[in-house]
Amino acid sequence: MVALSARTWWIAVVCALAAFPPHAAGQTYPAKPVRFIVGFAPGGTNDFVARALAPKLSELLGQQVVVENRGGGNGAIATELLVRSLPDGYTLLMTSPGHVTNPFLTKVNYDPFKDFAHISLLAESVNLLVVHPSLPVRNVKELIALSRKRPGDLNYGSSGVGTSVHLSAELFQVMAGVKWVHVPYRGGALATTDMLAGQLQVYFGNLPQWIEYVRAGKLRALAVTGPKRSAVASEIPTVAESGLPGYEVTAWYGMSAPAATPRAIVDRLNQVVLQALKTPDVRERLVTAGADPAGNSPEQFTAFIQSESVKWGKVIKAAGIKAE
């Protein structure tokens, strides 16, 4: 048997797919279960959004949508797995901010635009700025004042370099003119444990996960990172209204497929995603957890990803962030 190069193999795959008329691909899809890969461990917001949607997508598609967790590299492992998958609509990816930040931080084996058919933005959520109760601050202005008084003395944790958790803190430091010590973790579980134990002082956690620790009195919430207050925690002000005008960070979650996926399949997936996001049960699950349902066209989602790349590329360069 003659071994084929990766490029030759892909050409063969694309040619094989091209043999089927686009409309035929859309009419027969899907004929078997669909994998929905999440680049993070179970229990995080990426995983929650995927599992909130999967049952309804399964119902609408008539085939099971199976959520598969492939954590590591701030989503890079799952992303590279998708790129190597057949562009037939049976392997999809939960796309998140790491998709555009990873290429600025380390070498990745994909192009965030050319190698993907972006299907739709699924949901957005804000991060929650929390401090351990032992830290003597009760609002953003007091945190900034203490940080300036004790430069380099306070620490903050993150679930990994380049995550929205990490970049929320970096943008805050740049805009507030303060300096904290970064303590990165490989995922959020250990970071959560250390934050609750007081080993960490500051954290920008995804609101759906962290609001319960605040309500239980284990952590103190200072602000949310979005452009407006969250409907599930309206008593908590935004960072911008609390003393740092112009500050805004939104975590986002979307669905993408390999670049050569037939447009008919992309359109079919976009249609069912938009339909699923409009159903009351899915919306309630997302909103109750602090995630706002989104939904847009493939072109709009692609443009959104491009704008996120420009925004965070500037932040990463300005802060001098490097992969650790």
Give me the count of residues in the chain: 324
The beta strands (E) that lie in the chain are given as: 34-38, 65-69, 91-95, 116-131, 155-158, 181-184, 202-206, 220-224, 250-258, 291-293
* The CATH number, out of the four listed (3.40.1160.10, 3.20.20.80, 3.90.1150.10, 3.40.190.150), of the domain defined by the range 32-125+251-319: 3.40.190.150
The more confidently predicted of residues 14 and 269 is 269
From the list 228, 215, 179, 220, the residue with the least C-alpha distance to 203 is 220
User: Quick one: average pLDDT of 314-322?
Assistant: 84
**To the nearest whole number, what is the mean pLDDT of the chain?**
89
* The CATH number, out of the four listed (3.40.190.10, 3.30.43.10, 3.30.590.10, 3.10.310.10), of the domain defined by the range 126-242: 3.40.190.10
Q: Which of 129-133, 139-143, 231-235, 278-282 has the lowest mean pLDDT?
A: 231-235
Q: Is 280's pLDDT higher than 50?
A: yes
Domain ranges of the chain: 32-125+251-319, 126-242
User: What is the model's pLDDT at position 6?
Assistant: 44
User: What is the model's pLDDT at position 132?
Assistant: 97
User: What is the model's pLDDT at position 324?
Assistant: 61
- Fold matches, 32-125+251-319 and 126-242: yes
User: What is the model's pLDDT at position 257?
Assistant: 98
User: What is the model's pLDDT at position 26?
Assistant: 57
User: What is the model's pLDDT at position 15?
Assistant: 54
The pLDDT tens digits of the residues spanning 23-46 come to 555 578 999 999 999 998 887 888
